[in-house]
Structure 1
């Protein structure tokens, strides 16, 4: 089975590239996304993390990634457990990101939910500790 037709292998390669580049190489995600892919993030466009608003195309998702990279610096991104059934893959791990404006770090368990069709990712949803990420995004009171 080629990596393009094996969602788990495609994701393992993408996560490895993402982690090795410390979140700077977004091509790993662009390579696996369908043109009409969707993205949902638990923060859902909150004031603390506006880039997390729902996305409904591959190019919209690129905007999410650009916002993430502009606001946060990856420290670690260890997504090592992959559970697959039919066209769905759940990826579980731990991540740490530093907010560029505040210098604060958010370290959280992360669960990513993926759905594939015809070898391409058509839906992505991320779950993580929003309270911790919001706290890291907010400046300390004066």
Structure 2
């Protein structure tokens, strides 16, 4: 298996394409995922009434996440700082900067995403960012 096909390299390429598309091409992440990929966020669906907080359990449900993100938010920037990999676990470290389409407010936050791969496909994804700032920017609190 060459370096171009490692999970870390594939994740790095997906985030580069995501940034270049200004958040309009969620397919770059869906292409990494197995059909049964679990997608979770630091946002708790029990505490935040927002479609992005939903716990998703399939690639089809993950597609909804990217549709909601594009509907409700405009990407300003998404710089990468570092990628760490240990076997089938890849950690992306960077920042995200978005504008909420409803409120017109901007939010920037450090961001950490953890990807878990099996047999070359992502089976789990967990994202962490400043959830308080997100909720304030979206007008949820």
Q: Distance in 2 between matches of 1:96 and 1:37?
A: 25
Q: Following TM superposition, by how much is the alpha carbon of 1:79 offset from its aligned partner in structure 2, in angstroms?
A: 2.2
Is the alpha carbon distance of 1:86 and 1:72 closer, same or farther for their aligned partners in structure 2, counting shifts above 3 Å?
Answer: same
SS of residue paired to 2:28:
helix
SS of residue paired to 1:102:
coil
List structure 1 segments (4+ residues) > 3 angstroms apart after TM superposition: none
Normalized against structure 2, the TM-score is what? 0.92
Contact 2:19 2:77 in 1 (8 A): yes
Count of residues in Structure 1 that have an aligned counterpart in Structure 2: 138
Superposed, 1:96-135 pairs within 5 Å as: 96-135=97-136
In the alignment, structure 2 segments of 5+ residues that lack a partner are none
Match of residue 40 from structure 1? 40
Match of residue 14 from structure 2? 14
What RMSD, in angstroms, separates the aligned Cα atoms of the two structures? Answer: 1.5
SS of residue paired to 1:54:
coil
- 118-127 or 79-88, larger mean C-alpha shift: 79-88
Q: Distance in 2 between matches of 1:87 and 1:139?
A: 36
Normalized against structure 1, the TM-score is what? 0.92
Match of residue 81 from structure 1? 82
Contact 1:102 1:139 in 2 (8 A): no
Q: Following TM superposition, by how much is the alpha carbon of 1:55 offset from its aligned partner in structure 2, in angstroms?
A: 0.3
Contact 2:92 2:112 in 1 (8 A): yes
Q: Distance in 2 between matches of 1:2 and 1:59?
A: 29
Q: Following TM superposition, by how much is the alpha carbon of 1:43 offset from its aligned partner in structure 2, in angstroms?
A: 1.1
In the alignment, structure 1 segments of 5+ residues that lack a partner are none
